[in-house]
Structure 1
Amino acid sequence: MTGSDHFLWWRGHRGDRPHDARWTEIGEEDFQEKERRITGRHHLPGPVPDWAEDLFRVARAAFIADKHVRRTGVRDRWTRRISLTVPVTEYERWQSAAVRTHFTALLQILTGDLWNVDFRPLTGHRVEEAMIFPDDPRASEVALFSGGLDSLSWAATRSRADNPRPLLLVMFREIGLLRLQQRVYKAVERLGGPRPVMLLPMSQTPAGDGSGLRLETSSRTRGLLYAAGAIRAATAHGVATVHIPENGQLALNPPLTPARSAACSTRSVHPWTLAGLNAVIAAVSDAGSAVRVVNPLAQLTKGEVCRAGRDAGLTPADLESTLSCGKPPTRRSGGPPVANCGVCFPCLVRRSGLLHANGADGTRYEASPWANNLPFNRGTDWRALQRWLLGRYTLTDVLTDTPLPPGTDPASALDVIRRGREELARLLQPAAAAEAAGAA
């Protein structure tokens, strides 16, 4: 470790303090929400096992460390060296070499940074129990619900299942986008499927670090935090599987250029990431309360996901009301009140998916990627996509970015990307029309 390392210590009980001045203390106060709202206000029908509380705490600590250590302060403006220590109840399990190896590798593939994660016993501190109402219905299925196209399509599909036990959707509120998320959830309710649907809203918004400076803008650990929250809820409901719906195209997220390889593109639902998270869960969980995280849409393109939503009863307007953008304009200071910028790579995939399923896309975007007046820097993803579509994409390309976990069929992954490329190629048609109109 060098002088450029960053040492962060998640607070335990009052007597549990760092041993020297290298360590910066972080903790529950670094979230805008009060701790009681996070851990005690949700109506859970059963207790949360210690290992799941530990996982949630560790994920929260990693998220705050990720936000507090700014990439602009390191030499290459990306790769950071972060040492993190977190107190856990199941200390012997977390401190094992297998867990530390799995969890460190998980963080490194997510963020592209060099992590050293250590655990210490959580003693002299009582974890506040959630409010338990034994008579509340227990869900038979749990899924993350973001307000995006994929999570909406999956929720709509599962709400139609012939199952008397509820579907639980775990939704993390997004700053400036809560109304949109609620509106998208209403689309599921309006379907009036035979199955009860419950919504569990959660909030995990980082506060400032006291410096007055803006926190790190990238947030590669957010997906891990959300998954841990859903896992926590699943254990209380006695559900053995958590669904994280993401089309296979964006789950694999092949880089459009060599500069966008590995953690420079989001990998939160990549097969390798889910396999790593499941390995951690298997190592720290109790035999009777283990949970497995899966992506139920891993074999579908964006267009196929949109079509599945239509088959479940969603309208084109329902699909167009969703959030897909990597950097929603409404989050920007002075940005327009629209959810999707229209020019980032997730928005381009969204455009192609809606064209595939509906034949048109009526989404209100901030900008068009083929507009003549688009600033040069905002057309970066569109130009990269055009070049990528003109080139070949082979099995070697699938295997050279982020490795696939054992048991994953590379040919199947390649086929998803191939079908996605065919959908994306449809975007070249309106681009050509716009160019012809401009020339005229």
Structure 2
Amino acid sequence: MNDDELPAIQVDVHEEGGRARAGRIPCEIGSNLIFKTHNLAAYFFAKWEPVVFDLMLLAASVEFCDRVRRRPALGWGRAFELRLPVHDPDVWNQKNVSDTLHDALELLTGDQWKVTFIKRRKPALEPAQELFYLDTGAEAVIPFSDGLDSRAVGALMAEEYGSRLVRVRLGSKKKDHPKDSFGRKQPFMTLPYQVKPGASHFIESTARSRGFKFAVLSGSAAYFAKAGKVIVPESGQGALGPTLVPVGQAYEDYRNHPRFMKYMTAFFKALLGCDIAFVFPRLWFTKGETLKAYMALSGGKNVEWSKTRSCWQDNRHVSVNNHRRQCGICAACMLRRLSVHAADLEEPADTYVWENLSAPTFDAGVAKGFDKKTRAQKQYAIAGTLHLDHLAYLKQSRAAERPLNLAAFQLARALGESEAAIRIKLDRLLSQHEKEWKTYMNSLGPQSFVVQWADNDQSA
């Protein structure tokens, strides 16, 4: 698609007191992109490096761009022109830095990007040095959040790395800012910036730029901790499923894919001169297998997994009698419910707004007292169900042979393995997902509205 066929979005990031050029969307540092001194200190605990601050400013600016204008109703892509002030534009305007940055952003978001850099009028304020404690000899960093994969893989990797594993908090909840056993503050435990829309609201929810934010923050932590690895906690269905079977008419989702992370490795090398590898220890396992392995660490007694969240919907849409739940029917919730079943675990019905997936109709499955059903929720539910169903039967489709071969080719290049070896692993993952999905569908019974959706689609 040519530039003039895509909706153009021009954004000027500027310092406090500055102005955007005529016709550009203004994005002000301090108002739209907010950096808190203490939060920055949690990253720059060893020394101040302006280029890494500029990298975080870039990640925040990309998020602002991604969310400020809606994607077109027909098609997907947008054409962004983003200008932002940095401490040393010569560093950012190097060809290998610019090329690797644009490669990563365009693969990730499915948009066209033109990012330019100008000189800051005055340097950013350095955070005051605070005492944060980091064990020496760090080998890997892992992001943690409220998610199920994050909790499970964090525990599995702690078994392997022990004190050589550094955790990075990608959320902002204070209760999740852990200290070590001596009560000492740990670095990387606060989100260093906040992105706000200004007078209006953010209106685009696809949030593909979240993958760039993840890579920048975890990669920056690896850089400061002198660790060579970032562990991506996603299991196989979540990492590869969205590119093998895109949901609806959406562009392939590369947020947790090795191909995108390979591009980020090249970008970090060009910008910072360091080698940071993004590794996927659970790439060839289902989420259910990962959860089962996690439970085995405690002999099946761990209950922390049940406190995690998979649903992306906010309180306004998933509260029942003023208590926040998970929706239970989006793609993320459906994968969670499938995985909990595959791991031979159970959750209380009131974990979800849609308590009963065995109900004969979508409306009959919802919790009593929930009065916020929308057409969009049903569309999310159908899309999530069919995504997992299509993934389960992918190997049986003749039309899927070429996409599977392409996926194996891309993964082989990203992971440095042979296509033949990758295809064996991919086939095993898909077979395991198919087995888990069929077993779960059988458990819901033939009258289930979920089973009916899947059956009707297969016979269509």
- TM-score, with structure 2 as normaliser: 0.77
Residue aligning to 1:296 = 281
CA contact (8 A) 2:235 2:283 kept: yes
The residue identity in structure 1 corresponding to 2:333 is: C
Residue aligning to 1:150 = 149
Distance across 2 between alignment mates of 1:257 and 1:160: 33
Distance across 1 between alignment mates of 2:412 and 2:257: 10
Residue aligning to 1:27 = 28
1:232-276 Cα offsets, whole Å, 9 max, x none, are: 233332222222211122111246866646x64532111111011
Shift, 1:100, TM fit: 2.3
Gaps of 5+ in 1: none
Shift, 1:5, TM fit: 1.3
Shift, 1:80, TM fit: 1.7
1:54-103 Cα offsets, whole Å, 9 max, x none, are: 322211110111111222xx352742221112233453342233332322
Matched, 1:267 2:254: yes
SS in 2 for 1:377: helix
SS in 2 for 1:202: coil
The residue identity in structure 2 corresponding to 1:156 is: A
Distance across 1 between alignment mates of 2:428 and 2:186: 33
Matched, 1:55 2:55: yes
Structural RMSD (CA): 3.7
Residue aligning to 1:323 = 309
The residue identity in structure 2 corresponding to 1:22 is: G
Residue aligning to 2:166 = 168
Matched, 1:10 2:23: no
SS in 1 for 2:189: strand
Matched, 1:337 2:339: no
CA contact (8 A) 1:249 1:302 kept: yes
CA contact (8 A) 2:11 2:25 kept: yes
Residue aligning to 1:202 = 191
Shift, 1:421, TM fit: 2.6
Distance across 1 between alignment mates of 2:137 and 2:16: 34
The residue identity in structure 2 corresponding to 1:321 is: K
Distance across 1 between alignment mates of 2:165 and 2:34: 26
Shift, 1:7, TM fit: 0.8
Map 1:181-220 onto structure 2 (within 5 A): 182=176, 200-202=189-191, 204-211=193-200, 213-220=201-208
Go from structure 1 to structure 2 and tell me whether the alpha carbon gap of 1:257 and 1:43 turns closer, same or farther (over 3 Å shift): closer
Residue aligning to 1:389 = 392
1:312 to 277, 291, 297: 297
Distance across 2 between alignment mates of 1:250 and 1:297: 10
The residue identity in structure 2 corresponding to 1:389 is: A
Residue aligning to 1:422 = 435
CA contact (8 A) 2:33 2:60 kept: no
The residue identity in structure 2 corresponding to 1:100 is: S
Matched, 1:244 2:244: no
Go from structure 1 to structure 2 and tell me whether the alpha carbon gap of 1:100 and 1:337 turns closer, same or farther (over 3 Å shift): farther
1:119 to 117, 120, 123: 117
Distance across 1 between alignment mates of 2:208 and 2:341: 29
Gaps of 5+ in 2: 364-377, 453-460
Shift, 1:302, TM fit: 0.6
Distance across 2 between alignment mates of 1:117 and 1:43: 25
Shift, 1:144, TM fit: 0.3
1:219-243 Cα offsets, whole Å, 9 max, x none, are: 1112311321222233332222222
Number of corresponding residues: 415
The residue identity in structure 1 corresponding to 2:30 is: E
SS in 1 for 2:433: helix
Distance across 2 between alignment mates of 1:80 and 1:155: 36
SS in 1 for 2:105: helix
1:156-196 Cα offsets, whole Å, 9 max, x none, are: 12333474x3633212226xxx48x84xx99x99xx9xxx9
Using the aligned pairs only, state the percent identity: 20
CA contact (8 A) 1:248 1:416 kept: yes
Matched, 1:283 2:281: no
